Amino acid sequence: MQTTIKSPISFSGNGLHSGRPATLTIRPAMAEHGIWFSRTDVMVGDRLIPARWDAVNRSPLCTRLENASGLSVSTVEHLMAALAGCGVHNALIEIDGPEVPILDGSSAPFVRAIVQRGLRKLDAPVRIFEVAKTVTVSEGEASATLAPADTLRIDFEIDFADAAIGRQARSLVMNNGSFARVLCDSRTFCRQADVDAMQANGLALGGEPGVNAVVFDGDAVVSPGGLRHADEPVRHKMLDALGDLALAGAPLVGHYTGIRAGHSLTNTLLRKLFATPGAVRMVTCDAATAARLPGYGLIWDEIPAVA
């Protein structure tokens, strides 16, 4: 059965890149509604923005959605990962600014609030996208692949010159609440040189090292408190990938492999998937398949308790 949240949930905070404060409210929605954003600070014109792959205005720093009128909302990936990881199929997300609050830089605040509020089942079957043919995209040393599988699995590999990050790899089958247990509390990360460059150009104004981002400088972790996990960077890349794949428009079943991939490349992959004849098919979910989707089997006590 499709789901929505039982009652509204609100969050407030600064955007990571814009530095602008915003209040975001996730509201229940009817079956077949899907996930949509609504810019409540806009009084004239179309303020609805679909959370869908073909509405992405590709950027290397974050995932930005834009409607036909040019109205946008950015840094949606952590929230989208939380919705997918908690099994939420329908929601209206109202926001009074151009960027989703960064909060602690992970999906954990969204996940804990959604699970605490609870989900309501709707009288409609879940339809999923099954990957039926392998598709791959690449750019330089980065690549992203989707291949057929009977559940959603994410493999990711990163390799940074900074000794504190280095090469990291991880694989995770995204069922039985594994997103909430393993990935949801992993924060966005960057290098000190990148922070300095972005702030000099008026970006990353809402970031606060140690609060909503992990900052690395060579072999040092600059952020107070250190890492939540030894491999927190690759876990966060997997979190981002889930959020970007959630823009398929329905739960996606397949094996995703990312090697040094970012938001833009994952969106390019989705575009190729839907443009390739026979590469993907929509099917109605049976009980066995539903039990293998992210969010199924999620237990409150297994969600990491973070500061």
Active site residues: 263
Of the candidates 110, 127, 114, the residue with the CA atom closest to the CA atom of residue 75: 110
Residues 6+ apart with CB under 8 A from 41: 95, 96, 97
Query: Distance between CA atoms of 291 and 7, rounded to whole angstroms?
Result: 24
Query: Distance between CA atoms of 131 and 255, rounded to whole angstroms?
Result: 8
CA 198 to chain CA centroid, Å, is 22
DSSP bridge pairs for 257 = 145, 155
Is residue 57 within 8 A of residue 64, CB to CB? The reply is: yes
| Tokens representing residue 164 in the block | 């504190």
27, with CB counted inside 10 A (0-12, 13-18, 19+), is middle
User: What is the amino acid identity at position 209?
Assistant: P
